[in-house]
Amino acid sequence: MSDLTNTPAKRGFALPKIKGNAVVMGLYLLFLLLPIYWLLNMSLKTNTEILNSFTLWPRDLTFANYVTILTDPSWYTGYLNSMAYVLMNMVISLLVALPAAYAFSRYTFLGDKHLFFWLLTNRMAPPAVFALPFFQLYSSVGLFDTHIAVALAHCLFNVPLAVWILEGFMRGVPKEIDETAYIDGYSFSRFFIRIFTPLVASGIGVTAFFLFMFSWVELLLSRTLTSVNAKPIAATMTRTVGAAGIDWGVLAAAGVLTIIPGALVIYFVRNYIAKGFALGRV
């Protein structure tokens, strides 16, 4: 291969370039991580230290802020509420999106392109437009301040997202597999559950991750549709900000805890982040 003849020359002039790259990346990552570090730093300090002295790292390391959140029901129920509607939303979205994505990836039918476009417009629709009507809709059917209301409201953008991402993965599976299975006498449901779903398992995992994330980060709808019983952690945090005295340490700790679920799985989905955000294209 031409690589053999190339390598010495390449190395000769590439070495300083790599250093330049490393500097750029180092600066960029520093820019990304400094604010996050600062949040972490705050969460490990006492409020006296935060307000009375300016320190680059916690001198008086404390986990009291985390203890407050994990023991005070008004804080930890926020996490439980968020988890509850996020998981419900994930299950609902995946269940309805799987067959639909299969249909879009395999068949043409009347209005398929329009429907696919219409789904996209819902992914793009501003939640602010839907906040008031959702509030009235779910109040009138008696679902206001329940987890399922938020889960259903988030379906507005999560179901289209799931359909688009899953379709992107499913079109990569050769159609011959379907045909062989049907010839072998599989019924559609048996084929879909036994053969097809395992084939797109990584796609389902990535989709689940993005469903989780977009529901987890959303504030406007979840805050509008809840008051006490299903109040999400995001709303708990913004309401604390509104109060007269702000407990910065606890607020920072709450922020750190909301980052953890995403950070835990980030390594496994690192190669699919771009694909997920680009709705399964790329």
Partner 1 sequence: MNKTVNQKAWFLILPVLLLVAFSAVIPLMTVVNYSVQDTFGQNQFFWAGLDWFREMMASERMWDALGRQIAFSGIILAIEIPLGIFVALNMPKKGFWASVCLVLMSLPLLIPWNVVGTIWQIFGRVDIGLLGYTLAALGIDYNYTQDFYAAWATVIVMDVWHWTSLVALLAYAGLQSIPDAYYQAAKIDQASRWKVFRFIELPKIMGVLMIAILLRFMDSFMIYTEPFVVTGGGPGNSTTFLSIDLVKMALGQFDLGPAAAFSIMYYLVILLVSYVFYTVMTNLDKRDGH
Task: Identify which of 231, 234, 225 has the alpha carbon closest to the alpha carbon of residue 149.
Answer: 225
In sequence order, which residues have a C-beta less than 8 Å from that of residue 265 and are 6 or more positions away? Answer: 209
Within positions 177 to 206, which residues make up the interface with partner 1, using CB under 8 A?
A: none
Site membership for partner 1, residue 91 (CB under 8 A):
no
**What sign does the CA torsion over 202, 104, 276, 158 have?**
negative
Residue number, 37 or 63, with CB nearest to partner 1: 37
DSSP state at residue 125: S
DSSP codes of every residue in 42-77: HHTS-HHHHHH---SS-SS---HHHHHHHH-HHHHH
CB of 96 to partner 1, least distance (A): 4
Give the nearest distance from C-beta 128 to partner 1 in angstroms. 4
Length of the chain: 282
Half-sphere exposure of 55 (CA within 13 A, CB side): 19
- What 8-state DSSP symbol labels residue 225? T
Kindly tell me which residue out of 110, 228, 243, 244 binds partner 1, with binding defined by CB under 8 A.
110
Nearer to partner 1, 64 or 143 (CB): 143
Q: CB of 90: closest distance to partner 1 in angstroms?
A: 14
Confirm or reject binding of residue 20 to partner 1 (CB under 8 A): yes
Nearer to partner 1, 53 or 229 (CB): 53
CA atoms of 160 and 32, how far apart (whole Å): 30
In the bound complex, what is the minimum distance in angstroms from residue 237's beta carbon to partner 1? 6
| Host H or E run for residue 87 | helix 73-106
Q: Which C-beta is closer to partner 1: that of 136 or that of 229? A: 136
Write down the least CB distance from residue 63 to partner 1, Å.
Answer: 19
Q: Which positions from 31 through 90 interact with partner 1, judged by CB under 8 A?
A: 31-36, 38-39, 42, 50-51, 54, 56
Taking contact as CB under 8 A, which single stretch among the options 19-27, 64-72, 73-81, 197-205 is the one that binds partner 1? Answer: 19-27
With CA atoms as reference, report the closest residue to 91 among 159, 192, 137: 159
Q: How many residues bind partner 1 (CB under 8 A)?
A: 100
Query: In angstroms, rounded to a whole number, what is the distance separating the alpha carbons of residues 31 and 37?
Result: 10
- Residue range at the interface with partner 1 (CB under 8 A); choices 60-68, 70-78, 198-206, 234-242: 234-242
| Binding track, positions 129-168, relative to partner 1; x by CB under 8 A | xxxxxxxxx--------------xx-xx--xx--x-----
List CB contacts of 130: < 8 A, sequence separation 6 or more.
153, 156, 221
The interface region with partner 1, picked from 57-65, 66-74, 193-201, 218-226 by CB under 8 A, is 218-226
Nearer to partner 1, 29 or 67 (CB): 29
CB of 72 to partner 1, least distance (A): 18
Could you tell me the smallest distance in angstroms from the CB atom of residue 189 to partner 1? 11
> Closest approach of Cβ 201 to partner 1, in Å?
19
**Residues 123, 161: contact at Cβ < 8 Å?**
yes
The residue type of 173 is: V
Run of H or E including 248: helix 248-269
* The two three-digit tokens of residue 231, written as one number: 């109040």
